[in-house]
Structure 1
Amino acid sequence: MITLFHVSDVHFGAEDPQAIAWFGERVTAERPDAVIMTGDLTMRATRSEFERGGAWLRSLGVPVTLEIGNHDIPYYWDPFRRLFAPYQRYAAVEKMIERELDLPGVTIVPLKTIARAQWRWNWSKGRVGAGSLRRALAMIDAAPKDRLIFVAAHHPLIEGPTKGTASTRNGDGALTALAEAGAHAVLSGHVHDPFDVPVARAGRTIRMIGAGTLSKRTRHSPPAFNEIRVHNGGFETIARTMGGDAAVIGDATADVGRLS
């Protein structure tokens, strides 16, 4: 069995120290095969926040791959840096960003859903660019055909069962294209509440999986992360909340026939 810990929206600068410590304790005790971090490692994309976040991720002692969230590029009030040098402060985490993981039976495919600028007021919302989607589809095509394909993005591509929204432009079409290409799930964050919902696309079932937050910016759920257990060609998602509660929120075992 392969065990993945899916964590998101830690927001160093507004992190919850107890939640951070709790997650680290679970990693040390359970030793997952990898940690998938789906963005918003920082709150304001400062160098010190990246340094603290990078040190925390390295301290986990397991392979980590990191996708970038909307809080991980400079805010609107720093327009020059946001537009022309948004990745200048990433040095502390650069080697973890979209890092390729060697996992038996599983391929992680990154999909960027952030944008430096958009033709709408709220630039925190998601956007799938044509180039980002082409790159993800090419990686899926190159992956061994017997692998489960998990796409790692920051924003949910379509709205899930949460109060928080992503409003991801081009997300619905991207989800269909990813399903048609053979992706089995899209892992995301942004909305700060966990979920796992099956979606029918291109004659297949693809799952939308969202992680909670380890920050003080909780919404309906307490601090949480997802445990994804891969076994027998399928997988299940378990929402792990601080305080000891764990609940299966999605089981793709029944979808194995539709996943191939």
Structure 2
Amino acid sequence: MSLLLQISDTHFGTERPQVVAALLRLVDTLAPDLVVLSGDITQRARKHQFAAARAFVDTLGATPTLVVPGNHDIPLFNVFARIFRPYANHQRAFGNDLEPVFESPELLVLGVNTTRPWRHKDGEVSMQQIRRVAARLEMARETQLRVVITHQPVAVTRAKDERNLLHGRERAVTRWARAGADMILGGHIHLPYVLPLHDTFAGLPRRVWAVQAGTALSWRTRGTIDNSVNVIRHVADSGGARQTTVERWDYAETAGAFEMIARHELALDGAAPRVPVTQAG
């Protein structure tokens, strides 16, 4: 079995120390095969905030991490840096690759940088990014859980969140589904949920799931939802049969620890046919 821990919207600079400590205890207990940080790592993209985020990641020891930027990870008030060096502090902390990839026998996880320096909060996915991700998905093994990471959501549960939807999502979801994607992980709106994209987007050829995470560490929580992370468990047998579970773990104030409060068994389809699709859309 493989275990993926999704941590999103940590917003270092607004983190709660007791929640940081509780999350590190959870990591020690779960021993995940991969930790994903799906954007908004910092509050204002400042060096000391990225240094705190880097120190947190270093505390995870040898646990592999995959980090993609969010809109908060680009300078807001420093206009020169936003235009000419928007990712300098992020890359100083986490390396030059803004679209990292992780692969194991049971996991294929593809990061997509959906931030744009010329946008304030909105995210966007380009045709070049869509094609690159699709080409990699088409090479996946039958046993792998095929995961795409974007910061902004591709689907929402409430009308008032529609303004936060990822630009280009219709083409991306359709193309990635054809290429064999199983789930798209996101953050941005600090609201955890699991949605069947095959019920949201008409004509998808396979089951694809949107998995959204809340804010893992920040006091900038949403409504009655406390700090929250997702735990994804995946197992595959030699015949290609796959079983995947998404668990939502919230920080409990009284216990001072993360506790599982929801569990979703996801039905997955088999591997997509390995027939290259070159047309756009």
- Alignment TM-score > 0.5, same fold: yes
Deviation at 1:161, TM superposition (A): 4.9
Aligned pairs, number:
253
The 3-state SS of whatever aligns with 2:156 is coil
Q: Distance in 2 between matches of 1:172 and 1:248?
A: 28
CA RMSD in angstroms comes to: 2.0
Structure 1 unaligned regions, length at least 5 = none
The 8 Å contact of residues 236 and 248 in structure 1, kept in 2 or not, is answered as no
Q: Distance in 2 between matches of 1:22 and 1:259?
A: 37
Q: Distance in 1 between matches of 2:22 and 2:36?
A: 17
Q: Distance in 2 between matches of 1:6 and 1:79?
A: 31
Question: 2:28 matched to which residue of 1?
Answer: 28
The 8 Å contact of residues 182 and 268 in structure 2, kept in 1 or not, is answered as no
Question: 2:235 matched to which residue of 1?
Answer: 231
The 8 Å contact of residues 189 and 210 in structure 1, kept in 2 or not, is answered as yes
Q: 2:154 aligns with which of 153, 157, 171?
A: 157
Give the TM-score of the pair, scaled to structure 2.
Answer: 0.83
Matched, 1:218 2:230: no
Question: 2:138 matched to which residue of 1?
Answer: 141
Per-residue deviation, residues 167-224 of structure 1 (Å, max 9, x unmatched): 2211122111111111000011111121111111522110000011121100031001
Give matches, 1:1-260, under 5 Å: 1-61=1-61, 62-75=63-76, 77-90=77-90, 91-94=92-95, 97-118=98-119, 123-161=120-158, 164-165=161-162, 166-200=164-198, 201-213=203-215, 214-220=217-223, 221-232=225-236, 233-243=242-252, 244-252=258-266, 255-257=267-269
Deviation at 1:96, TM superposition (A): 7.6
Structure 2 unaligned regions, length at least 5 = 237-241, 253-257, 273-281
Q: Distance in 2 between matches of 1:194 and 1:145?
A: 28
| Amino acid in structure 1 at the alignment position of 2:64 | P
Q: Distance in 1 between matches of 2:154 and 2:67?
A: 18
Deviates more, 1:166-175 or 1:242-251: 242-251
Judging changes above 3 Å, is the alpha-carbon distance between structure 1 residues 161 and 205 closer, same or farther for their aligned structure 2 residues? farther
Per-residue deviation, residues 45-89 of structure 1 (Å, max 9, x unmatched): 0111111101101111211100110000111x3222112211111
Give the TM-score of the pair, scaled to structure 1.
Answer: 0.90
Q: Distance in 2 between matches of 1:251 and 1:65?
A: 24
Q: How many percent of aligned residue pairs carry the same amino acid?
A: 30
